[in-house]
Structure 1
Amino acid sequence: MPEYRLVYFDGRGRGEAIRIAFAVAGQVYEDKRIKDNAEWEKVRSVQHCTSAICKWRQETIINTTRENDLYGTNESERTMVDVVLCTLEDLFSEVLKLYMAREDQVKSAEIKEKLEKETIPKFVKIFEEMKKVNSKEKWLVGSKITVADIALFSFFKQLPLMFGESLAKVYNDNTTLKTHANVVQENPGIKKWIEAHPPKKNN
């Protein structure tokens, strides 16, 4: 298998789904964690490396999971995986607004209320419908675990740690998606990853 060097901030964020995907695949890699913006700028300026530098972007998770057989077994499944990932990215962008407004209490409260009452419930419904389309299987797409399952699980696993339990309530109350999450976290690679990296707030 290819060698990887994952470069991301010292937190979960967008990089966590890649870490979990590597754990599922049993892929050895260097987990390079950036401590501050100065270090990040220095890393970004490097042009030549002996191994692949996986800075987050959509094609990163596509490439790494394709190479590790976590991206579906045919074009139809891969298209559906793309739909899940793009939908999650849309949701992530909405939640990121709360982080960006963290120093403005009024604006932050307004964004959080909209997320709780409108945005997240809308997306949870979308993901529920996606799962129901594949109701004969345990997974979101196809008959085995893919990065779609991993990314959805990762997002809602870290959401309450970063922004509070209230944002994840509608997801946690959704029987279909919680059942799916329970199946995903029983994967041996994911169980081992969680045991080695226990959840903690604000990370």
Structure 2
Amino acid sequence: MAAPRYKLVYFDVRGKCEPLRWMFAYSGVAFDDHRIKELPYYVSEDPKPEWTALQPKTPFGAVPVLEVDGKYLAEAGAIARYLAKPLGLSGADEWEFAQADSIICYLSSEFEAPFLEFIREMDPGKKEEARAKVLAKLPKITETIERILQENNSATTGNGFIIGSAVTIADFFVVNYHELADTFLRPGCLDRNKVLTAHRERIRALPGIREFIQKHAHLAF
């Protein structure tokens, strides 16, 4: 049976697609990293002919979308779960996979939901209110993630992963949480959280990830 042909579609920014790109980069599995050469509407109001043509073909009118042999799968979390086993990122057993999935779900509900409200808000006054609301949530979220890291092997020195003894899908989403907060909310807002920062640097230095980051270092966000 022929190997699946993967095509990952998103704008030419990091955003919520970056954990999925890192999954491919780390695993070494080939994929078509299709980048829409238009900025998202929350960055620019310029015409978007490519996205306008593509949007009706996506399941929910949004990206990221994974195309597999002509079929479309939407939502970053669902895509990560679908790819976890084929890419070798599902943990040692079903329990570790479920734990990794629970971390992604936690970040989605506690961080991504209010973060997207902030990103999509166009009114300047309301946008600052939305920013403050997300910033207020960071201490509790970070405390929770750091506790899980500290409970799992030697994460206090940056030598551990968040689940088990190997990289899982959750590691990439945890790093993306850190980087989205740092890029969009307030630069350096999580840098004093040493356990989280050590984990971030460890994942960024992994083979495949390091080279991918260098290749796309020109992206502002």
Q: TM-score range by the shorter chain?
A: 0.7 to 0.9
Corresponding residue number in structure 2 for 1:26: 28
Corresponding residue number in structure 2 for 1:100: 120
Q: CA deviation at 1:179?
A: 1.1
Corresponding residue number in structure 2 for 1:44: 58
Gaps of 5+ in 1: none
Alignment of 1:48-63 (within 5 A): 50-51=69-70, 53-63=72-82
8 Å Cα contact 1:17/1:150 also seen in 2: yes
Inter-CA distance 57–153: structure 2 relative to 1 (3 Å threshold): closer
**Given residue 125 of structure 1, which amino acid in structure 2 is its aligned partner?**
E
8 Å Cα contact 1:4/1:54 also seen in 2: no
In 1, the alpha carbon distance for the partners of 2:71 and 2:164 equals 29
In 1, the alpha carbon distance for the partners of 2:72 and 2:32 equals 10
Compute the TM-score of the two structures, normalised by the length of structure 1: 0.86
Inter-CA distance 52–187: structure 2 relative to 1 (3 Å threshold): farther
More helix by share: 1
Alignment of 1:6-155 (within 5 A): 6-34=8-36, 35=38, 36=48, 37-44=51-58, 50-51=69-70, 53-90=72-109, 91-101=111-121, 103-116=122-135, 118-136=136-154, 138-155=160-177
In 2, the alpha carbon distance for the partners of 1:109 and 1:28 equals 41
8 Å Cα contact 1:161/1:200 also seen in 2: no
Aligned-residue Cα RMSD (Å) equals 2.2
Corresponding residue number in structure 2 for 1:156: 178
In percent, how many aligned pairs have the same letter? 24
Deviations 1:158-191 (A, max 9, x none): 43333441xx51x211111111112111101110
In 2, the alpha carbon distance for the partners of 1:40 and 1:151 equals 26
Compute the TM-score of the two structures, normalised by the length of structure 2: 0.79
Gaps of 5+ in 2: 39-47, 60-66
**Given residue 178 of structure 2, which amino acid in structure 1 is its aligned partner?**
F
Q: Which has the higher contact order (CA 8 A, sep 6+)?
A: 1
In 2, the alpha carbon distance for the partners of 1:13 and 1:150 equals 12
